[in-house]
Amino acid sequence: MDAVDNVPSAFQRCLAEATDDVPATDGPADAAPGPAPTVDEPALTDAAQPDADASEPMSQDAIATETALPETAAPEAAVDAPTQAELDYQALYGDPYDPVADPTLPEPAQLPTSYDPWEGYNRRMHRFNNAVDRRVARPLARGYVKAVPRPLRLGVSNFFNNLGQPVSAINALLQGKPKQAGQSLGRFLLNTTLGIGGIFDPASDAKLPNRSEDFGQTLGVWGWKRSRYFELPFFGPRTLRDALGMAGDAPLSPLRQVEADRVRIPLQGLQLVDVRAQLLATDSLREGVEDDYSLVRDAWLQRRQYQIFGDRMLEDDDSLPDYLREENNPTVPIDAMPVLPADPGG
């Protein structure tokens, strides 16, 4: 009788084992079911929990919390994990490209600084030169442009430029540029003869370049690379190196060799007016500038730096502005410096 009564119980245990609802037991069939082993309690609890939750409706807050958590975690995982394209790039080329740490990139551009320890004096002298320019030099230059036709003005500029070629030739030779020295000397001879004293410029048609060299540039090539800015009365922007260079060029100036004052002084005056007339085109660049002194100083020093060390730069460097490439950049020449009278007793 007992065996008959135990048949349903044995059948139920076999069904439970087949469906994995309860663990299999090795004990006798009529043993009373005991509590499940402690090791299997978490698994049973986790497995039973969804059934208990499914039987009860979820509140709206629980639904919102459960749906919000995966959405918040997903973007963080997507940001941290590299994309397939990044993995492919790293497999081919190694570490990802960092443009900041790329050793093949050139050095960052550095703005040039102006060496101007005498700025207080230079600013006062700049105001004085501007006053002289507004009242005397610029009105004369404008009148000269209106009164003299352009072909004649071009001939005057060619004449004075040709007078400076011997000085350029000597300084080019002192700087170790024999080819340029020969070209400057060739320009002087060709323009003086075929150009009728330099009024015309057949040397340019003969492909002889027009290079201007002075003793200030020679001192820079010899090693005096950095010199303080120094503005001279009437002569305008210079450096201390260039001021001393003017004294070296003065004895070589052809115009200063003219002893007759009635000839030399008018020629010097015409040369000053011609230089100022060529600079009229730059006046528009200075209009409305907040600090005219800084503009003139920085532009002049940059130009001067190129004149001294420009031969070391590549000729096809497109980054150089046009005004640095132009050889015709007039400044008040050494020829205009007054000649001291000779000692009567000497």
In the block, residue with structure tokens 């015309």: 200
Structure confidence at residue 29 (pLDDT): 45
Cβ proximity of 249 and 214 under 8 Å: yes
On whether the CB atoms of residues 189 and 202 are closer than 8 A, the answer is no
Q: What is the pLDDT of residue 223?
A: 92
Q: Of 222, 260, 268, whose CA–CA distance to 241 is shortest? A: 222
Q: Of 216, 222, 223, which Cα lies nearest the Cα of 237?
A: 216
**Residue among 307, 328, 297 at smallest CA distance from 221:** 307
Least Cα distance to 127 among 34, 231, 30, 49 occurs for 231
pLDDT of residue 28: 46
Domain locations in the chain as residue ranges: 118-309
CB-based contact 233:129 (threshold 8 Å): yes
Asked if residue 177 lies in contact with residue 169, where contact means CB atoms within 8 angstroms, the answer is: no
Residue 202: name the closest of 216, 212, 192, 214 by CA. 192
pLDDT at 211: 87
- Give the separation between CA 310 and CA 171, rounded to whole angstroms: 15
Written in H, E and C, the secondary structure of the chain is: CHHHHHHHHHHHHHHHHHHCCCCCCCCCCCCCCCCCCHHHHHHHHHHHHHHHHHHCCCCHHHHHHHHHHHHHHHHHHHHHCCCHHHHHHHHHHCCCCCHHHCCCCCCCCCCCCCCCCCHHHHHHHHHHHHHHHHHHHHHHHHHHHHHCCHHHHHHHHHHHHHHCHHHHHHHHHHCCCHHHHHHHHHHHHHHHHCCCCCCCCHHHHCCCCCCCCCHHHHHHHHCCCCCCEEEECCCEEEEHHHHHHHHHHHHHCCHHHCCCHHHHHHHHHHHHHHHHHHHHHHHHHHCCCCCHHHHHHHHHHHHHHHHHHHHHCCCCCCCCCHHHHCCCCCCCCHHHCCCCCCCCCC
Question: Residue 154 has which token pair?
Answer: 């071009």
Which residue in 46, 284, 311 sits closest to 172, CA to CA? 311
CB-CB neighbours of 164 under 10 Å: 24
CA distances from 180 to 123, 177, 195, 204, 296 (A): 37, 5, 20, 14, 29
**φ, ψ for residue 111 (rounded to 5)?**
-70, 135
Q: Over the range 13-35, which residues count as b (16 or more CB within 10 Å of their CB) and which as e?
A: eeeeeeeeeeeeeeeeeeeeeee
Which pLDDT score, from 0 to 100, does residue 84 have? 81
The per-residue pLDDT string of the chain (346 residues; one tens digit each, 9 = 90 and over) reads 555 555 556 656 656 665 555 454 444 444 445 555 444 444 444 444 444 444 455 555 555 455 544 444 455 555 567 788 777 777 777 665 565 655 666 665 555 678 999 999 999 999 999 999 999 999 999 999 999 999 999 999 999 999 999 999 999 999 999 999 999 999 999 999 999 999 999 999 999 999 889 999 999 999 999 999 999 999 899 999 999 999 889 888 888 888 888 999 999 999 999 999 999 988 888 888 899 999 999 989 988 888 888 765 545 455 555 555 555 556 777 666 665 554 444 3
